[in-house]
Chains A and B, each alone.
Chain A
Amino acid sequence: MKQFKFILSLLFSVAIFYGLNTKFGSIPPIGKFLNPYTGIWQNERSTEDFKDLSQLDGLTSPVNVHYDEALIPHVFAQNDLDLYRAQGYITAQHRLWQLEFQTRASAGRLSEVVGSDAIRFDRGQRRKGMVFGAENALEKMKEIPELVKNLEAYRDGINSYISSLSPADYPLEYKLLDYSPEPWTLKKTALLLMYMTDMLAGGDSDLKYTNFLKKYGKERFDLFFPDFYDVNDPVIPSERDWSDFGEVSSPDIPGGDSPIAYVSGLLPKPHPDNGSNNWAVGPEKSYSGNAILANDPHLGLNLPSIWYAMQLATPEKNTFGVTLPGAAGIVIGFNNDISWGVTNATRDVKDWYKIQFKDKSRNEYLHNDQWKATTKKIEEIGIRGEKTFYDTVVYTHHGPVTYDASFTDNEELVGYAMKWAGHLGGNNQQTLLELNKAKNYEEYEAALTHFVAPAQNFIFSSADGDIALWIQGKFPNKWEGQGKFLLDGNNPAHDWQGFIPQEHNAHVKNPERGFVSSANQHPTDESYPYYVFNDGYEAYRNRVINDFFRSKEKFDIQDFKDLHNNNYNLKAAELLPHMIQNLDIAQLNPEEEMLLGEVGAWDYYNEIDKKGATIWERWWIQIRNMVWDELAKDENDMPYPFAYQTIYLLKNNPNDKFMDILETPEIETASDLFILSFKKAAADIKSWKDRNGDYAWGEYKSTYVGHLLQALPALSRFNLPIGGNSGIVNATSQNHGPSWRMIVEMSDPPKAFGIYPGGQSGNPGSKYYDDFIDKWAAGEYLEILFMQDESSKDGIMFTQTLTPKQ
């Protein structure tokens, strides 16, 4: 009996230990997770109890970090190395888990943490050559020894913080997923920059376009996907003439056919709304005579926020702005002399080549009618709780063969290789550090030359009164039509033939109109001497912004704030009256008539209390789906024509064959679709109303900011009262929108306002985790404290001093 009781209690003890120490599926190990001395209760704090005196290995002088009331650190160091070391340390202090998680995602290493659910994602990252690109970028960075020293200081700062932690101090997400942080490396900084490159320049439609071309032919393609829309208000104003470029040469269109093949099972593209607005007015258009600049990058709305605000100062420079956790320096910001911002340039810098392998070994491929050797990279994908997965990725001189028989259901001897500017190896990090200390237009222009991808519209203003905009990236100099569709991997004339010279990248300085702006629209008009086609350009925000700046003489900061928060829906204004006019009202029931009345009386502003906006948005989605049902139902991945062209066709080609709905025996035209889609939209709204009540736009859209871990409801913020939508200057859709709004007036010292939908702390237990969100949703800003020196502590909550290790 005694033995029996002994064994039973032993078994129970082992069982409860195992049960509370082990992660089951998504349930964290409960004992580890809930105990108050190493579990989540240790994360229940708002200011992290930063030690006043943190000793930091490698510092040469003390660094003072003054935190203002928004928990924004103002860092004062004696030299660059100390500054970047402190930046790494402080960033890790607030955002360690995010730092690491984003670079893991970039490198295709999520399966190590979350298990086999992430294999397809990880394989995709490896096959896109994310690590290949990061390694090439790292080589490029190493060409500048001073940069390497700065990045090493940044790295060591992060690692000093990591090594000061015990498991009790780990950020919450490590406890939730039950793993530990690993040391930072320079390669991780390169991987973070690749993560951004992929987000902003990783999209292309070449293979979908090819599928469309094969099925419908060139004439139909050109109608649905024109190189230019019939309206164009480009980034570089049309007044710009390009005669200063002199003689320009582009490669001739080669003879020979391009391969035409259906390719499907394609990797997901980045969010189509990844884009931004920026604008600046010069002295003559400014209320004060100081240039004023604004920027708002539109990205996924996540917590912890993608941005972390900081002031970075040494005796030589003083810069404020937002940083990307993982990269040194300020990414978007200002100093006493200049301010700058970015929007995505959205150029086609990713092309696909059809590859013919000699045999199943895939050791050789055909190029210029000769068999050439491939190289192979064996990707080891660690999977939590399971055996490592091995994936062989074949590389040609074009780049990685992303799609082949081992990944998609290709023929065995055929592959599709990617050529991408993201693989070229650029030094974006150097651009950032040079911009941080740039004093004038010339230094801004020089800083940009290192920047390869993702191509950006770099807007600029200075205390001298200059405004400028460079569309900066490394762009292949293409023959007309090159890379719009699948290319022939065998034909050397299909290879990239060279690049547009740096000085011929489209740019404008102090244009006559007195302002510069960009909103992901066409970079130029057709007069630009190099080949550019419409690869997904926005056609609405740019026109609203430019019309605003043409509308009067002078602009002040309130005008800038109003424009950031402008909810005017130009797309609706261009289609809705036409739809209503061509609607067969006789077919409506009383409830539908009421909705028509509401949308008819709507003023085209997507404000939170407007029901008309909800009706329009529903109607638009339904009509778009009906027009393009042929494409959605196709067995191959098909591209969707852009909103502008869809509306153009509805108005100008109402009897096009695409207007027909496949499922019905009748042949529909555009006006049939108007009524059918309206009825469908009305039914959608009715069912929404039955479930949720009021269908005012704010509630219907229900914007949320989601935690990076699949928007875990506990750690996310829902139902935010904010207007706007995709295609509107206030580009806030359900989970996407302005991720940092900044306005800077180049007075002495600069006056600045900024806000982002998050908070400085990455710790969900901190009151600073999401404290900017309500202000952001209300269209308010933080008045930026830009400390000129350390003598005044106005607005400072507390100071942390980092001292050299004794």
Chain B
Amino acid sequence: MKSFLSNFSLTLVLALVFSLLLPWWSIMLAAFLSGAIVRLRKASAFVVPFLAIAVFWIVYAWLLSSANDFILAEKIAVLLPLGGNAVLLILVTGIVGGLAAGIAGLFGNQCRALFSQSDQ
């Protein structure tokens, strides 16, 4: 549980910092690094960074969109197409970020496993 929390918060903090400087894939870098630093087992290596970034993107997108009455979100949800449902678009946003982060987190874990003897 402790490693869950530390991976989760490290991913989040790194993602926040990197997002100031780097494009969207900064979340992949953040999840990769925290995966390489904080060891997670099995599915949690994917799930924890997934959740960290999904929450980050959902909350951020929600804050921006709700301040403007979801005007654009409803239009983009027609474009993509999600039936004009802004909430669905926000969820999709979270899932997209989460997937990218989860996979990068897995990769970080595998790197750590490959290069670290103590893991044997």
> A689 — which chain B residues lie within 8 A by C-beta?
none
Of all chain B residues, the one with the shortest Cβ separation from A767 is B71
Interface centre among A8, A35, A167 (most CB of B within 10 A): A35
Q: Least Cβ distance of B13 to chain A in Å?
A: 15
Given the known interface contacts A40-B76, A41-B61, the answer about A9 and B110 at a Cβ–Cβ threshold of 8 Å is: yes
Q: Mark out the residues of chain A between 41 and 67 whose CB falls within 8 Å of any chain B CB in the assembled complex.
A: 41-46
Of all chain A residues, the one with the shortest Cβ separation from B111 is A6
A21 to B22 alpha-carbon distance, docked (Å) = 13
Which listed residue (A31, A38, A42, A167) contacts B96, Cβ 8 A?
Answer: A31
> A167 — which chain B residues lie within 8 A by C-beta?
23
Q: Is the CB of B64 within 8 A of A42?
A: yes
Judged by a CB distance under 8 angstroms, whether A649 is at the interface is no
Judged by a CB distance under 8 angstroms, whether B1 is at the interface is no
**Contact flags B90-120 to A (C-beta < 8 A → 1, else 0):** 0011001101100110110111011000000
Interface centre among B24, B64, B67, B113 (most CB of A within 10 A): B24
Which listed residue (B19, B28, B96, B113) contacts A30, Cβ 8 A?
Answer: B96
From A322-330, A367-375, A711-719, the one touching the partner chain is A711-719
A8 to B110 alpha-carbon distance, docked (Å) = 9
Judged by a CB distance under 8 angstroms, whether A785 is at the interface is no
Q: Is the CB of A12 within 8 A of B111?
A: no
Q: Is the CB of A713 within 8 A of B78?
A: yes
> A32 — which chain B residues lie within 8 A by C-beta?
23-24
Q: Is the CB of A44 within 8 A of B73?
A: yes
> A769 — which chain B residues lie within 8 A by C-beta?
71
A45 to B92 alpha-carbon distance, docked (Å) = 20
**Contact flags A253-288 to B (C-beta < 8 A → 1, else 0):** 000000000000000000000000000000000000
Chain A interface helix/strand/loop/mixed = helix
Of all chain B residues, the one with the shortest Cβ separation from A47 is B68
A715 to B71 alpha-carbon distance, docked (Å) = 11
Chain B: how many interface residues by the 8 Å CB criterion? 38
**Contact flags B61-81 to A (C-beta < 8 A → 1, else 0):** 100110111111101101100
Which listed residue (B64, B79, B110, B111) contacts A44, Cβ 8 A?
Answer: B64
Judged by a CB distance under 8 angstroms, whether A765 is at the interface is yes
Which listed residue (B61, B68, B103) contacts A36, Cβ 8 A?
Answer: B61
Of all chain A residues, the one with the shortest Cβ separation from B31 is A13
**Contact flags B35-60 to A (C-beta < 8 A → 1, else 0):** 00000000000000000000001001
Q: Is the CB of B79 within 8 A of A31?
A: no
Q: Is the CB of A36 within 8 A of B57?
A: yes
Which listed residue (B25, B60, B99) contacts A21, Cβ 8 A?
Answer: B25
Q: Is the CB of B72 within 8 A of A172?
A: yes
> A37 — which chain B residues lie within 8 A by C-beta?
19, 24, 60
> B70 — which chain A residues lie within 8 A by C-beta?
44
> A40 — which chain B residues lie within 8 A by C-beta?
72, 76
> B111 — which chain A residues lie within 8 A by C-beta?
6
Judged by a CB distance under 8 angstroms, whether A548 is at the interface is no
A34 to B54 alpha-carbon distance, docked (Å) = 12
Q: Least Cβ distance of B108 to chain A in Å?
A: 9
Q: Is the CB of A20 within 8 A of B72?
A: no
Q: A34-B97, A37-B19 are in contact. List 5 more A-B contacts (CB 8 A).
A: A9-B107, A37-B24, A38-B24, A41-B60, A44-B68
Interface residues of A, Cβ cutoff 8 Å to B:
2-3, 5-6, 8-10, 12-13, 16-17, 20-21, 30-32, 34-46, 167, 172, 176, 712-715, 764-767, 769
